[in-house]
Amino acid sequence: MSASKVPGKASAILQLTCPRCRQGKLFHTPTTSFRRPFDMKDHCEVCELDFMPEPGFYYGSMYVSYMFVGGFSLVFIAVFHWVFGWSMTASFAALIAIVAIFMVYIFRLSRSFWLGVHVKYRPETRNAK
């Protein structure tokens, strides 16, 4: 990746990459894999950033996940119930199915967001190895 193609902060969060170098992956497996879906790497393989800075660091990501799902749920139910005329039961059933399908990505996204908020980008760490 060239210096002109450095992903932005939002892009790095959405792509689940290291917030410091924006190259290393945060998780062992792809989001679509059923093997170890919640296992995060201990450190970045590019810049050696410790992804587990202290015990309990990711407790805050639970609130981020709650915010993502809560906001999405409000908008989803409002649109499908009042705009498309679905019953409340059908709207909630569809919502539960969608959240269940994207549960692993939501978990990973909230951790990526939480780490991205606390770690600054340092371009000198890119291609450190």
Q: What is the DSSP string of 103-114?
A: HHHHHHHHHHHH
Residue 35: predicted pLDDT: 86
Give the whole-angstrom CA distance, residue 18 versus residue 33: 20
Strands (E), the chain: none
Secondary structure (3-state) at 118: helix
> Which domain range does residue 90 map to?
3-125
Q: What is the pLDDT of residues 14-55, one digit of tens each?
A: 999 999 999 999 999 998 888 888 999 999 999 999 999 999
pTM above 0.75, yes or no: yes
With a CB cutoff of 8 Å and minimum separation 6, the contacts of 37 are: 29, 31, 104, 107
Q: How many structural domains compose the chain?
A: 1
